[in-house]
Amino acid sequence: MKEILSKRLKELRKEKGLSQMQVAICCDITEKAYQNYELMTREPRLEILIKIADFYNVSLDYLVGRSDKRI
Question: What CATH number should be reported for the domain holding residue 59?
Answer: 1.10.260.40
Q: Give Cβ neighbours of residue 68 (< 8 Å, ≥ 6 apart).
A: 62
Q: Per residue of the chain (71 residues), what is the pLDDT tens digit? A: 789 999 999 999 999 999 999 999 999 999 999 999 999 999 999 999 999 999 999 999 999 999 999 99
Q: What is this structure's pTM?
A: 0.94
Does any domain span residue 58? yes
Question: Residue 39: what residue type?
Answer: L
Does any domain span residue 69? no
Does any domain span residue 13? yes
CA distances in angstroms from 30 to 1, 4, 13, 60, 67, listed in the order given: 23, 22, 15, 20, 28
| pLDDT (0 to 100) of residue 30 | 98
Does any domain span residue 24? yes
| pLDDT (0 to 100) of residue 70 | 96
Does any domain span residue 71? no
Into how many domains does the chain fold?
Answer: 1
| pLDDT (0 to 100) of residue 55 | 98
Does any domain span residue 70? no
Which residues form the domain of 28?
A: 2-64
